Amino acid sequence: GTGEAFKVCVDLNKMQEVRDFKNAMPHLFKSRNVTNGDHYSVVQGLEDCQQANPFINCASCECMYWCCPLGPVQMCLCFLNPCTYCIYAEMDGKKKAFNKDIRSLMAKYNIKAEIRDDGLETFAYFDPL
């Protein structure tokens, strides 16, 4: 077969998904003959995004930033706060780099690769073309 589309969550609370992706090449990659080196490049891009999260050393602090003390109201306030965009700037830069570099790398295998926010989570999507 051609392999199935899949996604990998790069949020701090789901770091195991990137580890699992690192340790086992997905069927889509195998079916498209993605080299181990290119698989590693994708893994490195995902890990770079995770490492750029400003709360990498305290994942629970991210929850506190977004949710405490006002719950959903706090989240709205955080989205309105320009500081939020400053503290996440490095992570946004890594996502843009992933989309530029990994997208072109995967294109040679006829795989569309893209990292994007989906609701409150961030995923890397891999779709066969």
Structure tokens at 49: 């995004």
Structure tokens at 107: 């294109």
The whole-model pTM stands at: 0.86
| pLDDT at site 98 | 94
* 3-class SS of residue 3: coil
pLDDT of res. 2 = 57
Please tell me the predicted confidence (pLDDT) of residue 84. 92
Neighbours of 74 (CB within 10 A): 15
pLDDT of residue 59: 83
Average pLDDT across the chain, whole number: 93
pLDDT tens-digit readout, 31-78: 999 999 999 999 999 999 999 999 999 988 998 999 999 989 999 999
pLDDT of residue 108: 96
* Contact by Cβ (8 Å): 71, 7: no
Cα separation, 41 vs 101, in Å, equals 9
Say how many Å lie between the first and final Cα of the chain, rounded. 13
Q: Are 6 and 112 in contact (CB under 8 A)?
A: no
